[in-house]
Amino acid sequence: MFKAGKVAIIGRPNVGKSTLLNVLVKEKVCIVSEKPETTRDNIQGIISDKEFQVVFVDTPGMHRPKNLLGKLMVRKAQASLTETDLNLVLIDAHSGITKEDIEIFNLMPVKLNILIINKIDGIDRRHILPIIEKARKFNFKEILPISALKKDGIDLVFKKILEYLPEGFPFFPDDQLTDKSESFVVQELIREKTLEITYQEVPHSIAVTVEEFQEKKDRNNNDIIYIRATIYCEKESQKGIIIGDGGKMLKRIGEVSRKDIENFLQKKVFLDLWVKVYKNWRKDPFALKNLGY
Ligand X SMILES: Nc1nc2c(ncn2[C@@H]2O[C@H](COP(=O)(O)OP(=O)(O)OP(=O)(O)O)[C@@H](O)[C@H]2O)c(=O)[nH]1
The torsion angles phi and psi of 168, rounded to 5 degrees, stand at 175, -175
Q: Does 149 bind ligand X (CB under 6 A)?
A: yes
Q: Does 148 bind ligand X (CB under 6 A)?
A: yes
Length of the chain: 293
Which one of 4, 5, 6, 16 is in contact with ligand X (CB under 6 A)?
A: 16
Between residues 39 and 238, which has the closer beta carbon with respect to Mg ion? 39
Q: Does 14 bind ligand X (CB under 6 A)?
A: yes
Neighbours of 110 (CB within 10 A): 6
Q: Does 44 bind ligand X (CB under 6 A)?
A: no
Give the separation between CA 101 and CA 143, rounded to whole angstroms. Answer: 14
**Whose CA is closest to 24, among 9, 4, 13?**
9
Give the separation between CA 31 and CA 104, rounded to whole angstroms. Answer: 22
Which one of 3, 76, 119, 193 is in contact with ligand X (CB under 6 A)?
A: 119
- Helix ranges, the chain (H): 17-25, 68-80, 99-107, 128-135, 154-164, 182-197, 236-243, 248-265, 285-290
Q: Does 6 bind ligand X (CB under 6 A)?
A: no
Q: By Cβ distance, which residue is nearest to ligand X? A: 61
CB-based contact 46:54 (threshold 8 Å) = yes
CB of 69 to ligand X, least distance (A): 13
Provide the residue type at 184 as one letter. Answer: F
Q: Does 187 bind ligand X (CB under 6 A)?
A: no
Between residues 33 and 67, which has the closer beta carbon with respect to ligand X? 33
Q: Does 42 bind ligand X (CB under 6 A)?
A: no
Which one of 27, 36, 224, 252 is in contact with ligand X (CB under 6 A)?
A: 36
Cα dist. 216→177, 211, 219, 222, 225 in Å?
A: 25, 15, 10, 8, 6
Between residues 34 and 245, which has the closer beta carbon with respect to ligand X? 34
CB-based contact 254:261 (threshold 8 Å) = no
Q: Indicate which of ligand X, Mg ion, none lies near residue 155 (CB less than 5 to 8 Å, by partner kind).
A: none
Q: Indicate which of ligand X, Mg ion, none lies near residue 258 (CB less than 5 to 8 Å, by partner kind).
A: none
Q: Indicate which of ligand X, Mg ion, none lies near residue 36 (CB less than 5 to 8 Å, by partner kind).
A: ligand X
Question: Site residues (CB under 6 A) for ligand X?
Answer: 11, 13-19, 32-34, 36-39, 60-61, 118-119, 121-122, 147-149
